[in-house]
Amino acid sequence: MRICPSCGKHVEDGVLYCPEDGTRLSSVADFAPNSTPSTTGLRLLNTVLGSYRLLKILGEGGMGRVYLAEHTRLGRRVALKTLRSEYASNPSAVRRFFREARAVNQIRHENIVEITDFIEQEGGENYYIMELLEGVNLAEVLSAEGALPQDRILRIGLQIASALASVHEAGIVHRDLKSENIFLVERSGQKDFAKLFDFGVAKLYQPTVDPAVWKTQAGAILGTPEYMSPEQASGKEVDYRSDIYSFGIILFEMVTGQKPFKGKSFGEMVIKHLTVRPPRPSRMKDLPRPVDPALEELVLACLEKDPVKRPPSMRAVETRLLMLRGQAQADAPTLVPRPARRAKAWLATGLLLVLVLAGVGGWAALRPGEEAAQPAGPAAVEVSFDSAPPGAQVFAEGAVQPLGRTPFRASFDRAERRARFEFVLEGYQRAREEVGLGSSSRLLVTLAKLEPPPEPEEPPLVPPEVERPVKDPKKPPVKTGPGKTEKPDKPDDKGPDKPEDLGATIDPFE
């Protein structure tokens, strides 16, 4: 059953938009218990919150509502997310609500929704402002179209993998990754530009903590059952590898148009995540096209029950997707112009007769020993530039202006030489690679992340220097009697003026 967030109308599953007002429908499961738009969110419509007038409910989740809002003076439209009133008095819920805003602002990745402001009022409304996205979420695309072509899977998957890798490197685990939380828009003529959002149950960590020990509290089950990792579904400690499992389910959906597990209850879903191996995507029924074996192996690797057996990081997943895209481009058929058909014999004979009658010996145009010129080959070659992570600027050797930002393609004059290029991306070490320009080719560079500079070491604790007495070499020993020599007076060992023993070790704590 689905529900309209604007008018509260209930509609059967399979319908995407409200038949009354055209609003995109939400799942009934997304609403808090005993809560519907008609009794809660609707009361705020057409009211002013801060500097924004609330025009329409765009969606509701377990903790908050998202409104279409308009700035009362500037007229700029945004998405405004509020915390549900039933959670506003809960300090823990308020902290979790604003965790999303802080998490997103830490990362600043183009494939993550931008949050521009957030307002926390003790005892009042708590909300933050997001960029307004106009498009459709991935779940709706899969519901309408089913399995996607591989080039589209790789295009969307690479963007999400890159965003998640940056999320994890910032010390954050999303914990509610699902196709509904991936929005596809058109930007600068690029279709399927992906935006990752809804970090409402994200867990923040210290960026300096080793990712291998990132954890969240045991026993806390947060997220969506169909996308939960086994450790998350069973309430165990969760780290960034849980997101890799959820990403594997999204890849499975894009490849097959179906989820790997289905269940009628939360308990049934938990059991399947814990004990049932996912089916091979290539063996699912009614597939519209064959499944690439390499892509299938990546999907199954992400869905391993044991987190240790999954890919070591989202950056590693991104690299494998880049390799798949490069292989697909290399395997794509190249269109070669067909040679012109031979002229018919009678036409050739006729032309020869015309030449003879005109007194022109066409065959004599070539001097003895000369050969006919060979047709010239293509004058240009194409080089595909790619990097992991993407977005690196590429410079030709000695150039000031970049050729472009990865991934992209560029054409060069064919030449029997090698050209050198430099890849530059903020936060990563520069990389230099060269490629021959005798034929079309592809450059894929994996960039190494810059290590933070080491903190200066504190100088070692040095005890204060003690003034040492200088022996007087001219002072002779004193004789006191026959055969006896008395040494100079030695100060009392326990006296305050005791000089330091030159051969002793200084104890700074004495």
Rounded to 10 degrees, the C-alpha dihedral 94/96/98/103 comes to 170
Using pLDDT thresholds of 50, 70 and 90, give the confidence band for residue 297: very high
Q: In this predicted model, what pLDDT tens digit does every residue of 185-208 receive, in sequence order?
A: 998 888 899 998 876 544 544 333
DSSP-assigned beta bridge partners for residue 65 = 60, 82
Q: In this predicted model, what pLDDT tens digit does every residue of 301-355 receive, in sequence order?
A: 999 999 999 999 999 999 999 998 887 666 655 444 444 444 444 444 444 334 4
Q: Are residues 114 and 97 in the same domain?
A: yes
Q: Are 383 and 410 in contact (CB under 8 A)?
A: yes
The verdict on residue 373 lying in a domain is: no
pLDDT score recorded for residue 305? 95
Using pLDDT thresholds of 50, 70 and 90, give the confidence band for residue 359: very low
Q: Are 290 and 302 in contact (CB under 8 A)?
A: no
Distance CA 285, CA 153 (A): 19
Q: Are residues 156 and 299 in the same domain?
A: yes
**Portion of the chain with pLDDT greater than 90, in percent:** 25
Q: Are residues 251 and 202 in the same domain?
A: yes
Tell me the pairing of strands 441-446 and 380-388.
parallel
The verdict on residue 422 lying in a domain is: yes
pLDDT score recorded for residue 377? 47
Q: Are 184 and 136 in contact (CB under 8 A)?
A: yes
What average pLDDT does the chain have? Answer: 74
Query: Quick one: average pLDDT of 347-374?
Result: 42
Rounded to 10 degrees, the C-alpha dihedral 157/160/162/163 comes to 180
Predicted TM-score (pTM) of this structure: 0.57
Please report the DSSP string for 412-452 in residue order. Answer: EE--SSEEEEEEE-TTB--EEEEEESSS-EEEEEEPPBPPP
Domain count, the chain: 3
pLDDT score recorded for residue 170? 80
pLDDT score recorded for residue 478? 55
**Portion of the chain with pLDDT greater than 70, in percent:** 62
Q: Are residues 216 and 322 in the same domain?
A: yes
Higher pLDDT, 45 or 489: 45
Show which of 415, 444, 473 is a domain's final residue. 444
Q: Among 91-100, 261-270, 362-371, which is the least confidently predicted range?
A: 362-371
**pLDDT above 50 for 294:** yes
**pLDDT above 50 for 180:** yes
Q: Are residues 431 and 326 in the same domain?
A: no
pLDDT score recorded for residue 390? 86
Using pLDDT thresholds of 50, 70 and 90, give the confidence band for residue 509: low
Q: Are residues 314 and 432 in the same domain?
A: no
pLDDT score recorded for residue 247? 96
Residue 91 phi/psi, 5-degree rounding, is: -55, -35
**C-alpha closest to that of 162 among 325, 317, 294:** 317
The verdict on residue 360 lying in a domain is: no
Q: Are residues 114 and 178 in the same domain?
A: no
Q: Are 389 and 447 in contact (CB under 8 A)?
A: yes
- Domain CATH code at residue 101: 3.30.200.20
**C-alpha closest to that of 409 among 373, 383, 371:** 383
Structure-block tokens of residue 308: 């240790």
Q: Are residues 123 and 111 in the same domain?
A: yes
Q: In this predicted model, what pLDDT tens digit does every residue of 132-166 receive, in sequence order?
A: 888 899 999 999 999 999 999 999 999 999 999 98
Q: Are residues 154 and 126 in the same domain?
A: no
Query: Quick one: average pLDDT of 376-391?
Result: 77
Higher pLDDT, 124 or 183: 183
Which is the catalytic residue, given 176, 198, 292, 386?
176
The verdict on residue 164 lying in a domain is: yes
Distance CA 418, CA 154 (A): 30
Q: Are residues 242 and 304 in the same domain?
A: yes
pLDDT score recorded for residue 255? 97
pLDDT score recorded for residue 499? 53
The verdict on residue 453 lying in a domain is: no
Q: Residue 476 region, left (φ>0) first, then alpha (ψ -120 to 50), else beta?
A: beta
pLDDT score recorded for residue 464? 53
The verdict on residue 470 lying in a domain is: no
Query: Quick one: average pLDDT of 420-424?
Result: 92
Q: Are residues 326 and 282 in the same domain?
A: yes
Higher pLDDT, 94 or 466: 94
Show which of 310, 331, 352 is a domain's final residue. 331
The verdict on residue 489 lying in a domain is: no
The verdict on residue 420 lying in a domain is: yes
Structure-block tokens of residue 86: 């039933």
Question: Would you call 176 a catalytic residue per the annotation?
Answer: yes
Query: Quick one: average pLDDT of 355-359?
Result: 43
Residues 6 or more apart whose CB falls under 8 angstroms from that of 337 comprise none
Query: What's 7's DSSP letter?
Result: T
pLDDT score recorded for residue 443? 86
Q: Are residues 183 and 288 in the same domain?
A: yes
Q: Is 480 helix (H, G, I), strand (E, B) or coil?
A: strand
Tell me the residue range of the domain where 390 lies: 381-444
Higher pLDDT, 338 or 12: 12
Show which of 92, 110, 132 is a domain's final residue. 132
